[in-house]
Amino acid sequence: MERKILHSDANAFYASVECVLNPDLKGKAVAVCGSQEERHGIVLAKSELAKRAGIKTGMTNWQAKRLCPELVIVPPRHDIYAKFSEALHEIYIRYTDYVEPFGLDECWLDVTRSSRAPYDIAEDIRQTVKGELGLTVSVGVSFNKVFAKLGSDMKKPDAVTVITRDNFKDTVWRLPCSDMIYCGRATTEKLKKLGVRTIGELARFPQDVLLKVFGKNGGKLWQNANGMDSDPVSRYDTCEQAKSVGHGVTCVADLVNAEEAGTVIVSLTQEIGQKLRKMRLRARGVQVTVRDKDLSFESWQAQLETPTQSAAVLAAAGSELLKKRYGWNKPIRALTVSAIRLESVDKPDQLSLFQTDDKRERVENTLDAIRSKFGDGAIRPATLLGESKLPPHGKNNL
Ligand SMILES: [Mg+2]
């Protein structure tokens, strides 16, 4: 049976959420920027008006301000975006159990089993999201995930695009290869050298040459260009299964300052990093939970700008979060760090801008290999060599 796949993408997600929450921003050029600090912050998202003024994701704040002096810059509020993301998912699962998130603001839906036409469902979703959340989405409708995603990019904001078996050669084949998911910058460059610029040229290119140049991925690229992608949409609950990888400890003596807590966090994240690499998962967020000496709990989350498996990145984010949120009125008795909002490493990152730190990942993979050969104590971060209030290894974990 022909599959019916939708890909729904919330338009200018962060900026749109900010506009929903603060109506004063409506009708203004708005950019959500990573840091308010004058030169170093970059644009993470921009409203439709900011986009029209030429603002691009990844620009520095000062470039953006120079281009559009009336631009309103707001800091990101990742906790709130995560809530809106969940609210979007709640709408999607009314239509099917097969809802697979991709980043915070995009989802695939498989509605093959529905008796309704996929276009009608897409229209319904577009209107429901607008009515209930005040956000706009663009939806691609197709017979596979690759074309559905492509479709959601073709008309936006607030639109539905249908790519069928009959029209894909006319609609998709004229587009550049880089418009297609899984065709990153390096692949695009290599394809250019082969004289392949459009998806149509890729589709008509000899598959055996692609296999020689790109290996298995070459075959996949060729199939995707020909509308032969058969990757299934995951069930929503399977995505939920591995929601987090956490590790906690009750300390031998209460922690009294950020430095002591930092050492514990570095230790906890070592194992989290190893687990993530073993499970082939990357985290998009970190959560820190503390229990103070009176045994009351507090927990905070932060979004990571780059999805990661790196213990060092998780440790830095966890320490930063604790520093920002914990007042140190009471010493800490127990501490748990969790890698949250997990995704498979086999999924390419949504924004090539936020490339994962390959070098760091390679180093940490090497460390894992050494540890598995010589034991966990073989290599430890320098921070852990001094005195700490950690219990002996493997004991007393929460
Ligand atoms: Mg989006």
Domain ranges of the chain: 242-384
CA 291 to chain centre: 29
- 392 Cα to the center of ligand 1, angstroms: 46
Name residues of the chain where pLDDT drops below 50: 239, 349-356, 394-398
User: 270 and 390 in contact (C-beta within 8 Å)?
Assistant: no
pLDDT the model gives residue 235? 87
- 345 Cα to the center of ligand 1, angstroms: 20
Residue spans of beta strands (DSSP E) within the chain: 5-10, 30-33, 43-46, 72-74, 99-102, 106-110, 137-142, 159-162, 244-255, 281-292, 297-308, 332-344
State the Cα–Cα distance between residues 178 and 163, nearest whole angstrom: 18
pLDDT the model gives residue 371? 66
State the Cα–Cα distance between residues 283 and 198, nearest whole angstrom: 33
With 0.75 as the threshold, say if the pTM is over it. no
- 153 Cα to the center of ligand 1, angstroms: 9
Residue spans of beta strands (DSSP E) within 263-366: 281-292, 297-308, 332-344
Q: Which fold has domain 242-384?
A: Dna Ligase; domain 1 (3.30.1490)
> How far is residue 97 from each of residues 93, 111, 138, 143, 215, measured CA to CA in Å?
6, 9, 20, 17, 34
pLDDT the model gives residue 394? 44
pLDDT the model gives residue 119? 98
- 106 Cα to the center of ligand 1, angstroms: 6
- 135 Cα to the center of ligand 1, angstroms: 11
- 129 Cα to the center of ligand 1, angstroms: 13
Compute the residue count for the chain: 398
Q: Strand pairing partners for 101?
A: 107
- 82 Cα to the center of ligand 1, angstroms: 13
Q: Tokens for 72?
A: 């309103």
Active site residue 90: no
Q: Which of 259, 266, 390 is nearest to 328 (CA)?
A: 259
Among the listed residues 48, 100, 106, 305, the single catalytic one is 106
